[in-house]
Chains A and B, each alone.
Chain A
Amino acid sequence: MELVEAIILAVLAASTPLLIAATGELVTERSGVLNLGVEGMMIVGAACGFAGAWLTGSVFIGALFGVVAGALMSLVFALMALGLAVNQVATGLALTILGVGLSGLIGAGFVGERITPAMHLYIPVLTDIPLIGRVLFGEDGFVYFSVALIAGVWWFLYRTRAGLILRACGDNHVSAHALGYPVLRIRTFAVMFGGACAGLAGAYLPLAYTPFFIPGMTAGRGWIALALVVFSSWRPGRLVVGAYLFGAVTILQLHAQGWGVGIPSQFMSALPYLATVIVLVLLSRARSGGSTAPAALGTVFVPDR
């Protein structure tokens, strides 16, 4: 029983940064922008988040640092890809290269330092319920926030007018522009939302996952988040399922060795990527399903005047 609980807790903790980063990227991509710089924004968020928490002694302010750092990084992307109509793929990769370097510079002074990690919720009686108590009532704030975030994004995209307009920009920017919507401004907001989420997801790692900062600690989670958005076929509901699935794979891979299961851990680690490729192919084959990529994803838009 306790092992099951421990595994569920570990899966939730491993899935949370993926869920937060992928939620942001989902909104960005739904507006028609492909930002491949998630890893770069996350890792800068991790360095700045730790720096903020270490300097102020507050995890909350650290998280805010991460959010702002991620948003600023994405602003650079928006300036290039939207303001200057530069190729989004190349810009996103440049953002990741830059982010890895920057986080190394920012974080260099903090390697080896420790902070008090994010508090876990504790409600007497409820948290003590066996098996589900700690899972439901004993998490840190990031976990609850990530669930609220994806629910909020679902509500925004499908239940509000602004969400409809954002999706319109992603599916056909020429029509959205012709209807009088400021496509580039909407996309800038979407990109910055994605950056803020990536920064928060990065900050989660040194603030809650492990209470210290090491260079390169995002360890490719940004790329998994990117895969996750494709895996979920750009839908918030499936994104939640995918995030916990991908998180579960990373945890199972750690336990599989302990249980003496004969699958090399590298094959488990490769599963999310392979699954994403297969899902992408299946989705592209079944175009009639209506759940494919935003039609204008990754294309440059310069409004006519």
Chain B
Amino acid sequence: MQLVLEKRVERSGTIALVSPLIAVGLTILTMVILFAILGKNPLLALHAYFIAPLTDGYSLQEIAVKATPLVMIAIGLSLCYLANAWNIGAEGQFLIGAVAGSWVAVKTQGTDAGAWVLPAMLVLAAAAGALYALIPAICKVKFGASEILTSLMLVYVADLFLDYLVRGPWRDPQGFNFPTTAEFDPVATVPLLIEGGRLHLGSIIALLVVAAAAILLGRTIKGFEIRVVGAAPRAARFGGFNANQLIILTFAVSGALAGLAGIIEVAGPIGHLQPGISPGYGFTAIIVAFLGRLNPVGILIAGLFLALTFIGGEQAQIAMKIPLDVTKVFQGILLFYVLACDSLILYRFKLVFPNRQVSRGAG
């Protein structure tokens, strides 16, 4: 007797709807076991992770701030993945966007530059992110080089480039030798939505991006092409859709969004350029994209949920001394369960009895 996978005739709509919920449920179950192993009260720990951050205004704002880059990057990635283009280098595009935008901020520092500074930073960051994402896309389309490997390699190049800038030419002379630029001028900072709060304009931009993606995918021909090229490449060829052009387009859009997220993070909550501006947003956004079922609204919900785990993790560390690493374990396990449950949309398990098949074949 053996358990094997069998392709379903049609994809299962029911499982497609409930699979993220099953995955979250299974993850929480696993976390309960992990908390028990760590010697912490699982109920209290779950409360610290998932309930406590939702009960005060500061944490709620903090969740929105954390979700902003995750959602923006994940929306771009979802376009790529729908078109079967595997951009996994969003982390690098995020960093390059942050660098390009910061260039304006650093060069205008202390001058009487006007209100054009922030818009220029945003535009430049998006353009730089898009250009950086085009490297793997063009290598893929022109030479057939795996975009998975090239986009991943470029993450580390971007990381080292940023490191070089803030330790070298852009280092704040008054920064006590810390690797960081000087604090950005007010005109180079993303404005806060509530005076004295944490919520900033970036969250509004993220919501606009979600809306734009929903319209693109649901209401336009380009969106239809993206979905068809990914889901049915042969049908797309017969339909005359240009798959290569869509790889270029989706990579450019996702790079631009990641770059934009990068500069918003730097000019918003952080306020200056330094190494470690991203706790792996570009990689966590991949979880967000899959957990959100590559659907804009789903990604918004998934992004808020993942942001909750970041904030909850910090609170659980303070309140219960639960190590921050638990958040990483949580995110990894969640992605595993999401992927496993997704598999059941296309496949189902079947019991086979190899012996009987053999004897039937022989007879």
Contacts and interface: CB of A to CB of B under 8 A. Distances in A.
B250 to A, nearest CB: 16
Interface stretch (B66-74, B106-114, B226-234, B323-331): B323-331
Contact of B146 (A85, A103, A264, A280): A280
A273 B290 contact: no
Contacts of B167: 266
A296 interface: no
Question: What range describes how many residues of A lie at the interface?
Answer: 35 or more
A273 B156 contact: yes
B164 interface: yes
B143 A285 contact: yes
B336 A85 contact: no
A90 B146 CA distance: 15
Contact of A281 (B139, B148, B284, B331): B139
A276 B146 CA distance: 12
A292 to B, nearest CB: 9
B161 A284 contact: no
Given A98-B329, A270-B157, A273-B157, A90 B339 contact: yes
Nearest to B286: A93
Interface stretch (B41-49, B118-126, B340-348): B340-348
A284 B156 contact: no
Contacts of B324: 104
Interface in A241-281: 264, 266-267, 269-270, 273-274, 276-277, 280-281
Question: What range describes how many residues of B lie at the interface?
Answer: 35 or more
Interface in B25-44: 38
Nearest to B349: A84
B22 interface: no
B287 A98 contact: no
B153 A273 contact: yes
Contact of A302 (B88, B146, B163, B347): B347
B5 interface: yes
Interface in A77-134: 80, 83-87, 89-91, 93-105, 108
Interface string A287-305: 1000001000110001101
B161 A98 contact: no
B149 interface: yes
Chain B interface, DSSP helix/strand/loop, else mixed: helix
Given A98-B329, A305-B352, A264 B149 contact: no
B64 interface: no
Interface string A31-45: 000101000100000
Contact of B7 (A104, A215, A302): A302
A76 B335 CA distance: 13
Contact of B157 (A102, A274, A280): A274
Interface string B293-326: 0000000000000000000000000000001111
A108 B317 CA distance: 14
Nearest to A304: B7
A89 B339 contact: no
Contacts of A302: 5-7, 347
Contact of A280 (B4, B139, B339): B139
A40 B145 CA distance: 25
B247 interface: no
Contacts of B331: 97-98, 101
B323 A87 contact: no
Contacts of A205: none
B154 interface: yes
6 contacts: A98-B336, A264-B164, A269-B156, A277-B150, A284-B139, A284-B146
Given A101-B328, A266-B163, A297-B146, 17 more contacts: A80-B340, A84-B5, A85-B346, A86-B342, A89-B86, A93-B335, A97-B287, A97-B335, A226-B149, A227-B149, A266-B160, A273-B156, A273-B157, A277-B139, A280-B145, A293-B146, A303-B4
Closest 4 pairs (CB-CB, A-B): A98-B332, A101-B328, A104-B325, A101-B329
